[in-house]
Structure 1
Amino acid sequence: MRKARSRRWLRLAVPPVVVLLALLTGVVLYQWEQPDEDDPAYLSPVSTAGIGASSLADAVRGAGVTVSRVGGTADAFRPEHRGDVTILLTTPQFVHPEYLRRLALLPGSTRVVVIEPSRQTLLRGQLPIEGSRRAYASGVSAPGCDFGPATDAGPAAVRRTRYGPVDTGVERQLARCYDDSLVLFSRGWTTMAIVGSADPFRNDRIGEHGNARLALGLLTARPRLVWVDLHHREAPPDPERDPGLGGPTLRPDQTTGPSPARTTPSRVPTATAPGGAGSAGGSGPASSAPGGEGDTPVADPPNPLWQAFPAWTYVVAVLLVVAFLLYALARARRMGGPVVEPLPVVVRAGETVTGRGRLYQRARAREESLTTLRAAALSRMARLLRLDPGTGRERVVAAVAAASGWPPHLVMDTLFGAPPEDDDSLVAAAVRLEALAESLGAAVTTEQPDFSEGARR
């Protein structure tokens, strides 16, 4: 009959599997819940879906601002859309990098609001922000700045993507709010606002906290709003197809526009950004500092190694470490009493003795080796002489000396002598012990021929 297999391995396999399944389920549900930016309803001013932005568009119109919906960034650069206007880029990752670089060529009365650009978008568009960090979900935080729309809105759910410092050698930072999730800076003649979350603009989130007031403050600072409703990757600019795009352009290594006041690398000038309460008619960065400029120390840029991987990879790494520690703890803990199991292979006694002897030799355990040999010899001699297990040392020596014919002092030294000092002493003691055991065995067998058979019975 075949023996049933043990299921003890389930105790070790189930906990890591449960943790892994929980992690995968969370990742799948998180990705499922996230809106697709290529969805036509995503932040569209005409969509009433939860991820749409029709509520915000209606509120902007109610504030007296004209909303113009365009299907591409090239349309936002047309002459009829230039001047005292706000341009909203809801999906900057779909905007061609050349258009992002041309933003610096817009008039000084233009404000550009960019919603949650990724690190790659910042690099491709030559936007002067050094890195970003993205969280799983948006968090609520206080403004922490004196930017008008932020102070009027109060706490808002903007803290999702947090942006690094502005490169002050190229542009000038105007405001930094909501734990680095709302950054305003000059871009050539233009003022740009980088928003770290789309929640304040969505229909299903605009009513939470101060989201509505913040979104309105960003989009109603100019009498006109050009809403770029883009949901696919744009083609490169074509001056022949789009005559309104004529004029200079920006190469990746070129900066066009007024040169802001340069500062030392350790200090950044900051000022209240345009578009605050009562500043709807404000213009470019040159006139956007009613409160004056102050020096604010710049934090050291974050280590790029931490930004090389998305945030979820660090969570997975931590969970894997925890699972490994739990597995190691489970392996080290004895689960139940010892179970007698057959050896998978048969090991010869000679090999076992040789292996144990080599272990003793490697550990230089001479005293332990001789003690083990003496214990085995005493056990065998006690059986031959039929001595009780608790017999004293003197009686054992006397009985062995009488039976073997060896002098008592030699028997005492052989069975209970001093430990060996070196390998030669150990070998000599072992040989003498074996000789005594053989002499005793021969003497007992000669005097009692049936002793071994009785002992076996």
Structure 2
Amino acid sequence: MIVPLAVAAALLAGTIGAHALDQPDPTDPGFLSPVATDDDGGSRLADALRARGVTVRRETDLLPALLALDNAPATLFVPAPELLHPDTLGALGELPAGRRLVLVDPARRMLETAGLPVVPTDRRWATRAVGPAADGRPCPLPEATRAGVAAAQLQRYAAAPDGPVALDRCYAGGLVRLPGRAETVVIGASDPFRNDRIAERGNEALGVGLLGVHDRVVWLDLDGPAPPPTFGRPGGDGEPAWSPTPGGSTEHDNGGTGEGQGQPGGPGPATDQHDGPGDPPGQGGPPPPDDHPLRDAFPPWFWALLVQLALVALLVVLWRARRLGPPVGEPLPVEVRSAETVLGRARLYQRARARGPAAATLRTATLGRVRDRLDLPTTTGHAELATRVAERVGGDPEQIHELLYGAAPRTDAELVALARSLDRLTRTVAAAPGRPTEGDPR
């Protein structure tokens, strides 16, 4: 029973580990980046947008991305919302009118902090390609209707219980739109934007349609968790403004890269640093402290696999451990004759040449039988026991003492002779008292 459970647990651990390896990690550098050409990058989507005449502007910090929305209507694309710092999420809910915000698989904490009346509901094991009206409701988004079947159903969303407005739902809740001065689009799957899945079904049409509503896309490309905002030079209205993160870069004008940008393989990022309070001139603020360096050193799938392997190891330990409770008598699978047992044990003694232990075993058995016959306690001394046996059999006490307590035999012949003498002594003691019998040792 334990073996099938252990095998099932091992298969489950392998399945979960393989699934974790197959799923993209939004915290990895280059995830849905417009300049990343690997499977989890978004370079193919950026090229498709430029082919339609849409300007793609890449920003690596939230403040420059928000400032880029002030000039004209544009779409702010946030492919990894969980990398944003909680202190900056409130600005996403206050975008200027006529703008669109597209969030990919945001968590509940992020939506609540940003003040968006959207909540995640159930989540599938893997992304499913469905039609825009998969749940029987018509989809009000024309870009989703034109795309048709797409891989957009992984995490589903719904309106918050106390939400002020109703949501526009598509793909059975995998894609929702929150109307308003600045509309917000939340999609629960990254598949329509990734290089490895964009060519499947209507993924490219959906990704291009969601981001190509306006002629400009501000693509927020974060390569790690954003640090907390710092306050630097005052803004135009006299209020303190967020300072851009060191290393921020911009890409715009149909893929043109500004001077000094940081790209993979480039000469290094040009930094626009603002001195925080108490910082030396020309240096940015200190990086945020890392509270869990060991946990952050490994990807999430590693910890999931480690937990599954620990569970399998626990099942193996329980399987191999000793059964709890008192021993339970069970019938022997086969019946072994006593003569076979004695012969087998004797052969073990013979193979090990253990004449001393064999003689001690024979003498111990003889002493037990003699004491029981003569009704003597186990505390009876050697000399007294030899005397009582001699009185019983009519022999010499010294010879009986040597027979019962003498030295170990040195050869197999001496061991055989000792065994025969002990057997005769036992038979003699068992005979009628006061009458010597044949076999009395002399």
TM-score of the two chains, using structure 1 as the length reference:
0.50
Q: Secondary structure at the match of 1:41?
A: coil
Q: Which SS does the other structure have where 2:169 is aligned?
A: strand
Contact 2:45 2:204 in 1 (8 A): yes
The offset of 1:80, in angstroms, is 6.3
Match of 2:76 in 1: 87
Within 2, Cα distance between the matches of 1:52 and 1:233?
Answer: 18
Alignment of 1:147 with 2:138, yes or no, is: no
1:97 corresponds to which residue? 86
Q: Per-residue displacement from partner, 1:61-92 (whole Å, max 9, x unpaired)?
A: 11111100000111111156543000000100
Q: Cα distance, 1:112 vs. partner?
A: 0.3
1:223-242 → structure 2 map (5 Å cutoff)? 223-240=215-232
Contact 2:144 2:206 in 1 (8 A): yes
- 1:28 is aligned to 2:17: yes
**Residue identity in the other structure for 1:163:** Y
Q: Provide the rounded CA distance (Å) in 2 between the counterparts of 1:130 and 1:200.
A: 21
Seq. identity, %? 36
Secondary structure of 1:240 counterpart = strand
Instruction: Say if 2:334 is the partner of 1:340.
Output: no
Counterpart AA for 1:96: H
Q: Secondary structure at the match of 2:34?
A: coil
Q: Which residue of 2 aligns with 1:218?
A: 210
SS in 2 for 1:209: coil
The answer (yes or no) to whether the contact 2:70–2:96 under 8 Å persists in 1 is no
- Of 164, 174, 177 in structure 1, the residue corresponding to residue 158 of structure 2 is 164
Distance 1:163 1:215, change over 3 A: same
3-state SS of 2:159 partner: coil
Change (3 A) 1:106 1:247: farther
Q: Distance in 2 between matches of 1:246 and 1:79?
A: 20
Q: Is the 8 A contact 1:160 1:196 kept in 2?
A: yes
Structure 1 position 15 matched with structure 2 position 4: yes
1:127 aligns with 2:87: no
Q: Structure 2 counterpart of 1:21, which letter?
A: A
Structure 1 position 166, deviation (Å): 3.8
**Structure 1, unaligned stretches of length 5 or more?**
1-11, 250-311, 328-337, 343-457
**Residues 162 and 46 from structure 1, CA distance in 2 versus in 1: closer, same or farther, beyond 3 angstroms?**
same
- C-alpha separation in 2, matches of 1:246 and 1:232: 31
* Amino acid paired to 1:151: T
1:179 aligns with 2:164: no
Q: How far apart are the structure 2 equivalents of 1:246 and 1:50?
A: 45
What is the aligned partner in structure 2 of residue 382 from structure 1?
none
Deviation at 1:110, TM superposition (A): 0.5
1: CA distance, partners of 2:236 / 2:200: 40
- TM-aligned CA distance change 1:242 to 1:16, over 3 Å: farther
Q: How far apart in 2 are the matches of 1:242 and 1:208?
A: 48
Q: Structure 1 pair 153/116, CA: closer, same or farther in 2 (3 Å)?
A: same
SS of equivalent to 1:58 = helix
2:107 matches 1:118: yes
C-alpha contact (below 8 Å) 2:68/2:218 kept by paired residues:
no
Which of residues 64, 67, 84 is equivalent to 1:75?
A: 64
Note if contact 2:130-2:150 (Cα within 8 Å) is conserved in structure 1. Answer: yes
Equivalenced residue count is 247
Q: Give me the whole-angstrom Cα distance separating, in 1, the residues matched to 2:149 and 2:69.
A: 36
Describe the shift of the 1:112–1:246 C-alpha distance in structure 2 as closer, same or farther (beyond 3 A).
Answer: farther
Contact 1:74 1:237 in 2 (8 A): no
CA distance in 2 between counterparts of 1:142 and 1:14 reads 44
Cα distance in 1 for partners of 2:57, 2:236 equals: 17
Distance 1:19 1:199 in 2: 31
Deviations 1:326-364 (A, max 9, x none): x9xxxxxxxxxx97249xxxxxxxxxxxxxxxxxxxxxx
Does the Cα contact within 8 Å between 1:201 and 1:215 map onto a contact in 2? yes
CA positional deviation for 1:45: 0.3
Q: Residues 93 and 114 of structure 2 are in contact (CA less than 8 Å); yes or no, is this contact kept in structure 1?
A: no
One-letter amino acid of the counterpart of residue 152, structure 1: R
Q: Aligned-pair distance for 1:42?
A: 1.0
Contact 2:93–2:115 (CA under 8 A) maintained in structure 1: no
User: Cα 1:241–1:208, aligned 2, differ >3 Å: closer, same or farther?
Assistant: farther
Shift of 1:220: 0.6
| Structure 2 residue aligned with 1:198 | 190
Q: In the alignment, what sits opposite 2:423?
A: none
CA distance in 2, matches of 1:62, 1:120: 36
Shift of 1:237: 2.8
Cα offset, 1:24, TM superposition: 0.7
Matched letter for residue 157 of structure 2: Y
* C-alpha deviation, 1:135, in angstroms: 1.9
1:173 is aligned with what amino acid?
A
Partner Cα separation in structure 1 for residue 237 and residue 331 of structure 2: 85
Task: Quote the offset at 1:248 in angstroms.
Answer: 11
Distance apart, 1:174 and its partner CA: 4.5
